[in-house]
């Protein structure tokens, strides 16, 4: 795999879950884990159902799309419980999708919260996303890509931490825009 393969890393900005109706989502276009080529953004509804639609629109209309080899999401949900239909994202962009997580998800806690909110449709999206796999220091869910290829993408993109650089930088940009300064784990 080329070291400068184009990867799209996506994370949401900080938001107030009690007052905000929408949240900005930032995407960075990286050559491997070394070179930032571009930044994209869109908005999704807090706890809504439009994350896959908005990401697909953002990706399919961007000038970088023909070069993108992988989409990396910082978790499967943006804006609280706006869960990404990762199979739809893969199908409608024709780009492999990796959901990246620092820690193994507490599925019982998530299921309990979604059940209390009468959001069984969101549970279906979580289950549809596939098995959570540990790769090195992180956990992943993979759509349209096998484990060996995923390992190669991680090897190329994890240059400054155990998180892929496209996601780490998307997080920093989102924090800086929303809070005026980046903070927390990136």
Structural domains in the chain? 6-179 (3.30.2170.10)
Instruction: Give buried/exposed letters for 73-106 (b at 16+ CB in 10 A, else e).
Output: bbbbbbbbbbbbbbbbbbebbebbbbbbbeeebe
For residue 121, name the pLDDT band (cuts at 50, 70, 90).
confident
Q: Which pLDDT tens digit goes with each residue over 4-62?
A: 899 999 999 999 989 999 999 999 999 988 999 999 999 999 999 999 999 999 999 99
The rounded mean pLDDT for the chain is 93
pTM, two decimals, is 0.95
């Amino acid at each position: 795999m080329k070291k400068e393969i184009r990867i799209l890393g996506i994370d949401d900005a900080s938001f107030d879950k009690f007052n905000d109706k929408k949240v900005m989502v930032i995407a960075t276009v990286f050559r491997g884990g070394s070179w930032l080529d571009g930044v994209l953004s869109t908005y999704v509804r807090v706890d809504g159902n439009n994350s896959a639609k908005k990401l697909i629109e953002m990706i399919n209309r961007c000038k970088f799309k023909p070069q993108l080899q992988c989409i990396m999401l910082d978790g499967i949900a943006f804006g609280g419980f706006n869960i990404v239909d990762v199979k739809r994202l893969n199908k409608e962009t024709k780009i492999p999708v990796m959901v990246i997580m620092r820690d193994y998800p507490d599925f019982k806690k998530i299921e309990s919260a979604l059940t209390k909110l009468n959001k069984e449709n969101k549970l279906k999206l979580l289950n549809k996303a596939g098995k959570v796999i540990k790769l090195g220091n992180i956990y992943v869910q993979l759509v349209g890509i096998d484990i060996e290829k995923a390992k190669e993408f991680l090897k190329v993109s994890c240059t400054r931490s155990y998180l892929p650089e496209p996601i780490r930088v998307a997080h920093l940009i989102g924090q800086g825009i929303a809070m005026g300064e980046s903070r927390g784990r990136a």
